[in-house]
Amino acid sequence: MSVAGARKGNEAEGTVLPSTGTEIDPPANNPRASDRANHAASEVNDLTDAPFASSSLDKVALVLLSVQHFSNSWISRSSEFAFPLFFIHLYTNTLLPSSLYGFLTTAIAIVFSGSMGTLVDRFRTRKLDCVRAFIVAQKLATMISYGLFCLLFYVKNLQSDAKNDGRGQDGGARNANVWSLLAAIVIAGCPLILSNVGVSVAVERDWVTTISEGSQARLSRLNAIMRRIDLLTKLLAPLFVSLLTSTAGYPTSCVILLGMSGATAGFEIIWIGTVYHRFGALKADEDRLIGEEHEAIELSSPAPIEAVASEAQAAASFRLPKESRARMLSSQRKLYVWAKSQALDWRTFAIMPIFTSSITIALLYMSALSFDPQFIAYLKSETTYSDAFVAGMRSICVFTGLMGTFYAPFSHRKIGLVRTGTWSLFILLLPLVLTLIALYIGAEPEKYRPAWNTALLFSGLAISRIGLWSFDLTQLQLVQTALSTHPRRNSLMVLQFAMQNAFDLGHYGLTIGWSRPSELRNAAITSYAFLIVATILYIGVYARRERGHLIHLDRLGLEGLEHLLGGKRRHD
């Protein structure tokens, strides 16, 4: 069946090609013809997912956007790495401050991430103002946090009171002054993480989707560039912070990072305007949305005279200005309206086919098999690896993650988005078996690890990063494409952030439950089970529904086996 034939559609069956939005007309009541049509439809679905015609981008504009994203991501990654270091250095003999900060700020992100997407949708006709507001909030929260850390570093009695789990040099009860400052840092961290979400949704989702102008090639390229910058800053910013702390010391490092946050604030507020004006598609999209709003107002029928008179009488009898009536709304009513709006967004998102892929990537955040603080603590406690060696292995994993951002666009062009996601999950899942083996077998009582154990431990992690970041890019483009025309696309897209944060919170729960470094392998095997569930969900539910099959058994002459195994038939 040709693609043109597939476009005819069938009102009775309503069979739609998910990747293209086209429909397939069913063949006559002939089982063999039906089978051939089913496979032809599946083939069309596979192929229409694959082509990525080349589409150029303004190179100068692309450089401007990359510089903006690098600056913003650098400061964000620096604070993510610096804050836990400062907590550990100040509040000695405890990991509680760092854990509390991570847990509470992540919980806030789960609850209010949806509101950030709603704001982006609400101000889609004022894109530049929206992003600038998020940048201002982001930089202010970062600077306030660094300022509070400076108090702990430079006020002598505070620094001494923070020692020994916040009990001071002599022990005893916890000191209220340093724990109050910890609470203030956590409070500052809440708008920080929400503004980070806001910038990410506005620039990496909304702007990138708009700039691509419906071109899959542009979208794939833009997503890959943004992810490569994320990975580069994830590698380089911690190295920079480590260099600062080891040479200038913690107090001076805090001051330098505070100054950098202030300097980049002014730079980014100005620079983002240059980026906006260089990409004409952003202004064109605003004009289109404004035109649609005006057209909707003009097309709306005027209210009947009786209704107008009735409304006027009601307003006259009420005799309160609009502002006063708005102020009379109770906080409970506002909370109810907000909760109802969030529930509506969740229901809308949950019934979409793309929701399954969002659950898949959220489940990946449960993994304890990555270079997070808990895994590094395990390496420091249970092995004899030096800091330099651990840093080197972490750098290799970041490098292989970068390889994944090059593999993904190439694979998108060759086999399409859906199948790239399938292969990426296998590349993620299978190598981690090596890491699990190394965690359970070969560890000596004296913490010495034989060479083969070290090779398995880190090679499994490194190879799996290719699959992780390839799937991340693929799923991002899938959800961008699925929601590109939805009027509340950012409100829905940000719900994926909330799910990711929720499972990230579950990851914290695993490491809290098995808090001793020697118990990391228990958390690792449990999180690996979640990775298996994620793979089954994506391949067995999402990919099978999108493609109509798992593998092309018809090419092997095994059509009957496909039906025996329950292969999806588009027409009965």
What digits encode the pLDDT tens for the residues 31-84? Answer: 444 444 444 444 334 433 444 444 577 889 999 999 999 999 999 999 988 898
What's the total number of domains in the chain?
3
Residues 126 and 178 in one domain: yes
| Element housing 281 (H / E) | helix 280-299
Residues 366 and 244 in one domain: no
Q: What is the pTM of this model?
A: 0.70
CATH number for 166: 1.20.1250
Tell me the two tokens of residue 250.
């913690």
Cα–Cα distance for residue pair 475/481, rounded to 1 Å: 10
The answer to whether residue 162 is domain-embedded is: yes
* Residue 444 burial class via C-beta count within 10 angstroms: exposed 0-12, middle 13-18, buried 19 and up: exposed
Residues 282 and 354 in one domain: no
**Poorest-confidence range of 92-106, 159-173, 216-230, 478-492?**
159-173
| pLDDT-derived band at 189, boundaries 50, 70, 90 | very high
200-254 pLDDT per residue, tens: 989 988 899 899 888 888 888 898 899 899 888 988 888 888 889 888 889 999 9
- Adjacent-strand bridge partners of 71: none
* HEC per residue, 246-268: HHCCHHHHHHHHHHHHHHHHHHH
The answer to whether residue 147 is domain-embedded is: yes
Closest CA to 74 of 259, 260, 262, 250: 260
Dihedral angle sign, alpha carbons of residues 527, 529, 534, 535: positive
Residue that the structure tokens 């897209």 belong to: 493
**Poorest-confidence range of 232-246, 292-306, 468-482?**
292-306
Residues 13 and 62 in one domain: no
The answer to whether residue 308 is domain-embedded is: no
The answer to whether residue 126 is domain-embedded is: yes
Q: Identify which has the larger pLDDT, 53 or 520.
A: 520
Residues 124 and 71 in one domain: yes
Residues 195 and 292 in one domain: yes
Mean pLDDT of the chain: 79
Cα–Cα distance for residue pair 509/493, rounded to 1 Å: 25
Cα–Cα distance for residue pair 291/288, rounded to 1 Å: 5
- 191, pLDDT greater than 70: yes
Residues 36 and 106 in one domain: no
339 CB-near residues (< 8 Å, 6+ apart)? none
149-161 pLDDT per residue, tens: 999 998 878 777 7
Residues 148 and 133 in one domain: yes
The answer to whether residue 437 is domain-embedded is: yes
| pLDDT at 460 (0 to 100) | 94
Residues 26 and 91 in one domain: no
Residues 42, 35 contacting (CB under 8 angstroms): no
Domain boundary among 297, 323, 352: 297
26-40 pLDDT per residue, tens: 344 444 444 444 444
The answer to whether residue 212 is domain-embedded is: yes
Cα–Cα distance for residue pair 9/25, rounded to 1 Å: 5
* Residue range(s) defining the domain that contains residue 165: 56-297
The answer to whether residue 238 is domain-embedded is: yes
Residues 279 and 428 in one domain: no
Q: Identify which has the larger pLDDT, 91 or 132.
A: 132
307-356 pLDDT per residue, tens: 444 444 444 444 445 555 555 456 667 777 778 888 888 888 888 888 99
The answer to whether residue 305 is domain-embedded is: no
Residues 9 and 104 in one domain: no
| pLDDT at 305 (0 to 100) | 47
Closest CA to 85 of 390, 170, 77: 77
| pLDDT at 563 (0 to 100) | 54
375-429 pLDDT per residue, tens: 877 887 788 887 778 878 888 998 899 899 899 889 988 888 899 999 999 999 9
Residues 261 and 360 in one domain: no
* HEC per residue, 403-417: HHHHHHHHHHHHHCH
CATH number for 413: 1.20.1250.20
Residues 278, 60 contacting (CB under 8 angstroms): yes
Tell me the two tokens of residue 395.
């750098």
| pLDDT at 571 (0 to 100) | 32
The amino acid at residue 173 is A
- 464, pLDDT greater than 50: yes
Q: Identify which has the larger pLDDT, 127 or 296.
A: 127
Whole-number Cα distances in Å, 253 to 98, 149, 267, 371: 18, 11, 21, 23
